[in-house]
Structure formats: C-alpha cells, structure tokens
Amino acid sequence: MVNKTVEGMLTLAELGQKAASGEVTTVLVVFPDLYGRFMGKRVPAKFFMESVAAHGMHACNYLLTVDMEMEVVEGYKYANWEKGYGDFHCVPDLNSLRLVTWLEKSAMVICDVETEPGHEPVRVSPRGMLRRQIARLDEMGFMAMGASEVEHYVFKETYESAKEKNFDNLVPFGWYIEDYHMLQGTKEEVLHSVIREHLERSGMPVESSKGEWGPGQHEVNMRYAEVLETADRHAVYKQAAKEIAMQVGLAVTFMAKWRADLAGSSMHLHMSLWDKAGKRALFPGPRKMGPLEVSDEFRWFLGGWMQHARALSVFYAPYPSSYKRYQFQSWAPTNIAWSYDNRTSGFRVVGHGNSLRIESRIPGADANPYLAFAATIAAGIDGIKNKIEPPPIFEGDVYSAANLPKVPANLRDAIGELEQSAMLREAFGADVVAHYLHFFRTEQKKFDQVVTSWERERYFERA
C-alpha cells in the first residue's frame, strides 16, 4: 500500500481526482534499463486512468540490450534480430505512483517488466532482479532496509555547452574543496534548495544536503526505507537532479570519477535487516564484536557481503572509468576490510541498536541502484545460509594495511570475478549472469576502441 504519510505519494483515486481537475495532465510511465536510466512514455493522465493503470503498456524489448548510445548490441539471447525485437509488457507498480513537482502538472509511476505473451517477470530486468532477492529474504522471514548516499558534481555549464567543449575544460561550480562548507553551500543553493524542495514534495523525504570533498561536489541524502523504495527514490532523484539543473542553467554529473585529480563520487550503500513487519531490527544482538553488540544475522550477512565483494564490484562500478575512483587515501576504498566508523575501510559499520547498519563504501555514484541492492542482498543471503563469518574487525588505516583483499583494479578484472561467481549464478540465474557479462564486456569493448585526448597529448608528438 502507498505510505500515506509521505508527501507526494499518490493513490490511484487521488491521481484520478487530480486528473479530473487538471492538476495533473501527464503521467510518466517508466522502467529502469540496464544502466539505471528511466525509459518509458509520457501518457495523458486521463488515458492513464482509463487504460494504462489497469492494463499497462508495451515497449520494445531491445531497451534491455541497447548501449548508452541506444545502439543495438548483438550477442544477447534475451532479445536479438533473429527474434525480431518484439514487445514486453510494462505493468505499473501503483505503490510507486508519485507527483513529480519539478515537471509541470506531472506524476510518475515505475513499472515492472513482464514477457509478452506469458506475463512472466523479465528475468534480466534490474527492478525484477531486486524484487526476486527481496522475495528470497521474505521467505527467510526478513525485510531489508536501506539507504544510498549519492554524490555529484555541479558545473557552471549546460549539458549543451559541455558537449560543445567536448567535455573538456569544464568549469565546476566551486573552486575549492567544500566538504561541509556552509558558505560554498549557500552559493549552490540556487540548485540544491530547489532539489530538496521538489524531492520532499514528490515522495522522497530528505535528510540533508552538504558540500563534499571536491570543488562543486555535493551530496543529497534521503531517508532510509525498504530497499525497493530506496532504489526507486535513488533512480528518481538522479533524474530529478539532472532535470532541475537544466531548469536553472547548470549541469550535474554522477560519474564516479570525472577528473583524475579530483575526488570521485560515491554511492555509499547502507543496509540492515528487520523482521517481515519492519518493526524489529535484527542486526543488534548479544555477540560482542569490538565496540558492537550484534546478532548472528549481522555477522553472517556481513561475512557473505565481504566474501563476495569482488564478485559484486561489477554491479557497484559498472564502467571502465568507475575504477579510477579507487585511489590511495581518496576516500574511496582500495582494500576490503570492515571497521566501526572508519572511512578508510570498504565496509564501515555505523550506529547502535535499531540504527546499527553496514555501509559499503565501494559503490560509485554511477551504479544502477537496483542491481547494486540486488547483488548486496544475494551476498547477504548466502552469508546467512552458509553462516559465513566475517574477518576480525580492523582498526587503523585500511589504506596502509598489507595482506588484505583488494577492490578490483579495473572493469576487466571485475568481469572475471562475476564470471567465476557460483553464488551469483545461483541467486540470479545463469541466463541473467550471462546477459550482464555481455553487457559489461560491451562497455569494456567500447572503451577499448576509443582513442582519448590523454593519448593524443601524450603520444601525438613524442611517440
């Protein structure tokens, strides 16, 4: 059911009233693609009420195979030229129905994707993959709660001016590091005050926004929620931030590393387990671990998450450029260890009692949130089922530690870890893993074929 206490979330009846009065004239009917971008259609609100709400809509199944440029990529079994690129069925999840107040007279609903014919869940759909892992948790008597801290850079550019400059010599909004800096934050309120206001009015309650460790870098944090809702909010927020930036004549990027000499942008991923009713936190318990008192579920979830961290990394860092974020003393982790409230570790445990949670600092801001949360839950489930113990708590500077497992150095290595993961094949299905192996290999192949400006500068005269 829709949480009626969250401003901006709508019941179908409320949307009907707003459609009849003309307060809402357009419904964005969307679903996330492999990159986490929203694809879909704009539907007149009255037609949505008359037809789409109950019967859904159709879209071409190539949308779960195309690359960032919308180019058809051959080699997928799910959809290809031989099969004719038919339709799939988009089924509105009315629990996701919300106002999108930064767009005029508009609402949005996020769809689950089904086969046509047959109406079975499309196994490679990112939102469907997260739903399946949530269902596995539910069978075990658990609910996952989560949050994501998403960082971005703001530019005194438009997306068009950035393209005209070939994305080189871009001007960040600030010129000095602004972590927690209130004066620079005030300058950027031309954008972030508008973002916060519209998120609050569109079903995405905000905790705070703040400057980050880069010039023009900022973070907007929304409140924690059940993980499907958190992933939805994350995806809607990224769309909103870009569209609102466009409206005020600016541009933002969620690239994990947009410039080599500046801090990367993360998606710190928080998760905790609760009972199925969402009333009782299951991570606190009687077991003493360092300064913490934790449950078996905490230990084993953390153990599974850490044991499979390298295999999950491709879902946390999906592009070749993503791995340039993992640098020594860069605030992005390079080693896989866990600590209590230690920002040098890949896994930072924070909170006490009901707020006790695990934060992975490995994901970048460019990650698809549905895939990141789905992979995390799969690893945690494996940890609980197989009672995987985490290593001892680490104290000190994880960056300087020896003999710790490393975050993969590049996408090619991460793809190899996914390929070798029996756990993810069991959790997602061999066909799904094969689909994403092809997706990530395509990203690597596209990168390998490009000659960059760095290469021209280095080799044009002197090679």
**Digit-coded pLDDT (tens) for 363-374:** 999 999 999 999
Within a domain: residue 3?
Answer: no
Query: What's residue 421's pLDDT?
Result: 98
What single string gives the DSSP state of each residue in 316-364? HS-SGGGGGG--TTSSS--B--EEES-TTSSEEEE-SGGG-EEEE---B
CB atoms within 10 A of CB 421: 22
Q: Are residues 375 and 337 in the same domain?
A: yes
Domain end, chosen from 69, 96, 124, is at 124
Share of the chain above pLDDT 90, in %: 96
What is the domain-level CATH number for residue 330? Answer: 3.30.590.10
Query: What's residue 5's pLDDT?
Result: 79
Q: Tell me if 226 sits within 8 A of 143, measured CB to CB.
A: yes
* Domain boundaries, position 112: 12-124
Q: How far is CA 261 from CA 26, 121, 178, 265, 267, in A?
A: 43, 43, 15, 13, 19
Q: Are residues 433 and 370 in the same domain?
A: yes
Q: Are residues 101 and 189 in the same domain?
A: no
Q: What is the band of 4 on the pLDDT scale with cuts at 50, 70, 90?
A: low
Q: Tell me if 402 sits within 8 A of 348, measured CB to CB.
A: no
What is the domain-level CATH number for residue 80? Answer: 3.10.20.70
CA distance 359 to 459: 42
The model scores a pTM over 0.75: yes
Q: Are residues 77 and 33 in the same domain?
A: yes
Within a domain: residue 6?
Answer: no
Q: Are residues 216 and 276 in the same domain?
A: yes
Query: What's residue 1's pLDDT?
Result: 46
Tens of pLDDT, residues 327-367: 999 999 999 999 999 999 999 999 988 999 999 999 999 99
Q: Are residues 115 and 156 in the same domain?
A: no
Within a domain: residue 189?
Answer: yes
pLDDT at 401 over 60: yes
Domain end, chosen from 66, 91, 124, is at 124
Q: Are residues 120 and 141 in the same domain?
A: no
Tens of pLDDT, residues 287-329: 998 889 999 999 999 999 999 999 999 999 999 999 999 999 9
Q: Are residues 141 and 104 in the same domain?
A: no
Domain end, chosen from 78, 95, 124, is at 124
Within a domain: residue 233?
Answer: yes
Residue 226: in which H helix or E strand, if any? strand 225-226
Share of the chain above pLDDT 70, in %: 99
Q: Are residues 286 and 261 in the same domain?
A: yes
Within a domain: residue 261?
Answer: yes
Q: What is the mean pLDDT of residues 66-91?
A: 96
Q: Which strand ranges, in their side-by-side order, compose the sheet holding 38-44?
A: 38-44, 26-32, 106-114, 87-99, 57-60
Q: In this structure, is the dihedral angle defined by the CA atoms of residues 272, 146, 377 and 407, taken in order, positive or negative?
A: negative
Residue 135 CA, distance from chain mean position: 19
Q: What is the mean pLDDT of residues 194-208?
A: 97
Q: Are residues 117 and 151 in the same domain?
A: no
CA distance 34 to 63: 8
Query: What's residue 3's pLDDT?
Result: 59
Domain count across the chain? 2
Q: Are residues 269 and 327 in the same domain?
A: yes
Q: Strand 38-44 vs strand 347-350: parallel, antiparallel, or unpaired? A: unpaired
Within a domain: residue 254?
Answer: yes
Q: Are residues 143 and 79 in the same domain?
A: no
Which SS3 state, helix, strand or coil, does residue 202 take? coil
Within a domain: residue 2?
Answer: no
Q: What is the band of 7 on the pLDDT scale with cuts at 50, 70, 90?
A: very high
Within a domain: residue 120?
Answer: yes
Q: What is the mean pLDDT of the chain?
A: 96
